[in-house]
Chain A
Amino acid sequence: MSKRVAITGNEAVAQAMRQINPDVVAAYPITPQTEIVQIFSSFVADGDVDTEFVTVESEHSAMSATIGASAAGARAMTATSSQGLALMWEVLYVAAGLRLPIVAPVVNRALSAPINIHCDHSDTMGARDSGWVQLYSENAQEAYDNLIQAVRIAEHADVQLPIMVTMDGFIVSHGMENAELLDDEVVRGFIGQRTPKHWLLDVDSPATFGALDFADWYFEHRRQLADAQTYVKGVVLEVAKEFAKISGRDYDLFEAYRLDDADFAVVVLNSAAGTAKAVVDDLRKQGVKAGLLKIRLFRPFPHEEMVAALAGKKAIAVLDRADGLSTMGGPVFVDVRSAMYDAPGPKMVNYIYGLGGRDVDTEQIAGVYWDLARIAETGKITSPVTYLGVRE
């Protein structure tokens, strides 16, 4: 029987990892992910999991060992945040290039400098072109559900890609929420066993992993990696449908909240979506047709579905919790605007918010909707990129 519990995001993720019972976990502590590693260590120490836990000396080695374990044929996981993910950067690309179905929770935290331990998305945004699938989670429940679904998505024969499941540092990782945990046996039945086609420990059919490609093959292998991304969307939806059967909870590529008839749309990731939904409800009461699109699958980017959902809106604001530093907006804005180029054109603006854990409140998000109303009315954009809630 599933049970409803009061739980933090980190605890929920650790519980999901216990239920997944990976063959190998190689991880290194970093705030705000540390609790996941600590809680999981106690599962190992108490014999609650069969996992070989490799207590590596850095995140680079965490990802390297996870790659080794996954190539060996094991179901392998790690977890990290911020600088840790940045240190893994080199080998993230190796994991994707070797088509290893690694699953890794990432607790979003700002990147240095200045050093900061609180939430923004600059860490996972920095990994967005690595070939990893990225699933974003609004709260502890979604982080838990996404992590379990990620195992199935990653290991699907058409996908064979690593997946990171994100949640907001402290806001979700350390915030106590209500969540429903599935029964251990239900999770184990849902994820099944990993059955790799080629695995390093299959000593009777020796294979070389990580060979050198010159110009005669590299391009084809990268093209295959790009091709794999096109199957992700379908598999995400297929797995979501099955997950709904065991959980009663529905998942899609993104969540469209009161979006269908909306004039003004905000696009956002993770916990700020919760705040924005409250604003939407409030504005709707005032007769303002506000709507929200919360991205769940950010990589690969579900552009066709998103365009269909956003086409015909009067104005759209994309909220980025990371700055692209390109002077043309944050990474989510750049992608959404690019996707919308061929759609009949709503005006689009970008707001960079919440860097380094800066709180974003309902008043600020309501202000964004009022900006959109003004843009729709005048047809004029005065500030394409706005820094929300910063001392200028």
Chain B
Amino acid sequence: MANLRELTKKDELLCGGHRACAGCAAPIIVRQALKAVDTPVVVGCATGCLEVTTTIYPFTSWRVPFIHNAFENSAATVSGVEAAYRALKKKGKITRDIQFIAFGGDGGTYDIGFQSLSGAMERGHDMVYICYDNEAYMNTGIQRSSATPKGASTTTSPAGKVIPGKVQFRKDLTAVMAAHKIPYVAQAVPSYWNDFITKVQKALAVEGPAFINVLAPCRLGWQFDPAETIDIMRGAAETCFWPLYEVEKGVWKVTHKPREKKPVRGWLEKQGRFRHLFRPENEHIIEEIQADIDRNWEALLARSGAA
């Protein structure tokens, strides 16, 4: 459990002046995640928005040791760093406890970096992987990924005359990571900061790998007013489009059950990427999205013993 008063006393480990867009969720996620750390921490990051906006030479926003290698290998890179830590600690060249966090966007995590992530988790490195999932390849200009939700218009799944945006439902990566049977897996949004920071604390505390999937609205790609980022994230949780839960040592638990599960329609309406769905001929897609959310939510409740 995080205490707001205590958190405000902690250093900001990602300093201001970075080049992320106004309203970008990624730096909010990083700042909150780093507030959960009590020991020195080393950060790795995949190529993507977070990396390019925070490390433009000769500047860096990172007040902690940071490494970027390439797009698809954040997990493999940090697994090497963590192995080096174990080796150097064994030899007495390092005496302090250090934590390791790897960041990646959905492109670097769900898609091109999926193998690297899966391998690192299976090998049991003591690291936390945090995906900031903005549901498309935002850094290259809003192309679809396997995290892009059904119906969303992107530049490679544009809403056209015959195809109404992305045809497929997204990959359920959090469940895939839970299937790796690693000690801790969670899904979060920074709007529920206490929920998220507590999850990062738990993830850091476990021995072995942990994975947290965090929804990260992109105001350019999702097309909303940058002032609304926190509300959009909250709406994702309140509609159960992005349920907040954790899987701790194999036990599934919903960490935030909305008092009233809101229909997804209103949430979709706020985002330009779903605008075309409100044309009469596409209305059925909204129903399909709602049905999918309902099905997944019921399944999650059943898995959590909360149905």
Q: Which residues of A contact B (CB under 8 A)?
A: 23-24, 26, 50-52, 54-58, 60-61, 64-74, 76, 90-91, 94, 200-203, 206-214, 217
Given A23-B87, A201-B94, A212-B57, A67 and B80 touching (CB < 8 A)?
A: yes
Q: Which residues of B contact A (CB under 8 A)?
A: 40, 42, 44, 51-52, 55-58, 60, 62-70, 72-73, 76-88, 90-91, 93-94, 96, 98, 115-116, 118-120, 122-123
Q: Decide: A203 and B87 in contact? CB cutoff 8 A.
A: no
Instruction: Give 18 pairs: A residue, B residue, CB < 8 Å, sorted on A.
Output: A23-B84, A23-B88, A24-B83, A26-B79, A26-B83, A50-B91, A57-B119, A58-B115, A67-B80, A68-B81, A73-B84, A94-B70, A200-B81, A201-B88, A201-B98, A206-B65, A206-B66, A209-B65
Give the docked Cα–Cα distance between A67 and B70 (Å): 11
Q: Decide: B70 and A64 in contact? CB cutoff 8 A.
A: yes
Given A201-B94, A212-B56, A54 and B69 touching (CB < 8 A)?
A: no
> Which of B44, B64, B79, B90 is within 8 Å of A50, CB to CB?
B90
Give the docked Cα–Cα distance between A65 and B96 (Å): 22
Q: Decide: B88 and A200 in contact? CB cutoff 8 A.
A: no
Taking CB atoms, residues of chain B closer than 8 Å to A200 are 42, 65, 67, 81
Given A24-B80, A61-B119, A72-B85, A212 and B51 touching (CB < 8 A)?
A: yes
Q: Decide: B68 and A209 in contact? CB cutoff 8 A.
A: yes
Given A212-B52, A212-B57, A65 and B77 touching (CB < 8 A)?
A: yes
Given A56-B119, A201-B42, A211-B55, A24 and B65 touching (CB < 8 A)?
A: no
Give the docked Cα–Cα distance between A65 and B305 (Å): 39
Give the docked Cα–Cα distance between A58 and B81 (Å): 17
Taking CB atoms, residues of chain A closer than 8 Å to B81 are 68-69, 71-72, 200-201
Taking CB atoms, residues of chain A closer than 8 Å to B70 are 64, 90-91, 94
Taking CB atoms, residues of chain A closer than 8 Å to B93 are 73
Q: Decide: A54 and B79 in contact? CB cutoff 8 A.
A: yes
Given A201-B42, A212-B57, A51 and B119 touching (CB < 8 A)?
A: no
- Looking at B57, B73, B83, B98, the one whose CB has the most chain A CB atoms below 10 A away is B83
Taking CB atoms, residues of chain A closer than 8 Å to B69 are 64, 67-68, 91, 94, 210
* Min CB gap B25→A, angstroms: 20
* Min CB gap B242→A, angstroms: 29
- Looking at B52, B66, B67, B77, the one whose CB has the most chain A CB atoms below 10 A away is B77
Q: Decide: A203 and B79 in contact? CB cutoff 8 A.
A: no
Given A52-B83, A52-B84, A68-B81, A210 and B65 touching (CB < 8 A)?
A: no
Given A51-B87, A69-B81, A200-B81, A208 and B73 touching (CB < 8 A)?
A: no
**Chain B: CB-nearest residue to A23:** B87
**Chain B: CB-nearest residue to A214:** B56
* Min CB gap A21→B, angstroms: 10
Taking CB atoms, residues of chain B closer than 8 Å to A210 are 55, 66-69
Taking CB atoms, residues of chain B closer than 8 Å to A61 are 73, 76, 79, 115-116, 119-120
Q: Decide: A57 and B51 in contact? CB cutoff 8 A.
A: no
**Chain A: CB-nearest residue to B119:** A57
> Which of B62, B77, B86 is within 8 Å of A64, CB to CB?
B77
* Min CB gap A272→B, angstroms: 35
> Which of B77, B86, B96, B120 is within 8 Å of A203, CB to CB?
B96
Taking CB atoms, residues of chain B closer than 8 Å to A90 are 70
Taking CB atoms, residues of chain B closer than 8 Å to A214 are 56-57
Give the docked Cα–Cα distance between A309 and B148 (Å): 62
Give the docked Cα–Cα distance between A360 and B73 (Å): 40
Given A54-B83, A71-B67, A203-B96, A91 and B55 touching (CB < 8 A)?
A: no
- Looking at A26, A50, A72, A211, the one whose CB has the most chain B CB atoms below 10 A away is A72
* Min CB gap A58→B, angstroms: 6
Give the docked Cα–Cα distance between A201 and B84 (Å): 9
Q: Decide: A65 and B79 in contact? CB cutoff 8 A.
A: yes
Q: Decide: B91 and A207 in contact? CB cutoff 8 A.
A: no
* Min CB gap B127→A, angstroms: 11
Taking CB atoms, residues of chain B closer than 8 Å to A65 are 76-77, 79-80, 83
**Chain A: CB-nearest residue to B58:** A217
Q: Decide: B76 and A56 in contact? CB cutoff 8 A.
A: yes
- Looking at B62, B118, B119, B120, the one whose CB has the most chain A CB atoms below 10 A away is B119
* Min CB gap B17→A, angstroms: 14
Taking CB atoms, residues of chain B closer than 8 Å to A55 are 123
Q: Decide: B58 and A73 in contact? CB cutoff 8 A.
A: no
* Min CB gap B142→A, angstroms: 20
* Min CB gap B61→A, angstroms: 9
> Which of B40, B58, B68, B84 is within 8 Å of A74, CB to CB?
B84
**Chain A: CB-nearest residue to B71:** A90
* Min CB gap A89→B, angstroms: 11
Taking CB atoms, residues of chain A closer than 8 Å to B65 are 200-203, 206-209
* Min CB gap B92→A, angstroms: 11
Give the docked Cα–Cα distance between A70 and B69 (Å): 12
Q: Decide: B115 and A57 in contact? CB cutoff 8 A.
A: yes
* Min CB gap B47→A, angstroms: 9
* Min CB gap A335→B, angstroms: 28
Give the docked Cα–Cα distance between A55 and B80 (Å): 11
* Min CB gap A25→B, angstroms: 9
**Chain B: CB-nearest residue to A26:** B80
Give the docked Cα–Cα distance between A68 and B42 (Å): 11
20 further interface pairs, Cβ-Cβ under 8 Å (given A51-B87, A52-B86, A217-B58): A56-B76, A56-B119, A57-B122, A61-B115, A61-B116, A61-B119, A65-B76, A68-B82, A68-B84, A69-B84, A70-B80, A71-B67, A73-B93, A74-B84, A91-B69, A201-B88, A203-B64, A208-B65, A209-B67, A211-B68
> Which of B57, B60, B85 is within 8 Å of A217, CB to CB?
B57
Taking CB atoms, residues of chain B closer than 8 Å to A58 are 115-116, 119
Taking CB atoms, residues of chain B closer than 8 Å to A69 are 80-81, 83-84, 87
Taking CB atoms, residues of chain B closer than 8 Å to A57 are 115-116, 118-119, 122
Q: Decide: B40 and A203 in contact? CB cutoff 8 A.
A: yes
Taking CB atoms, residues of chain B closer than 8 Å to A26 are 79-80, 83
Give the docked Cα–Cα distance between A203 and B85 (Å): 11
* Min CB gap A74→B, angstroms: 4
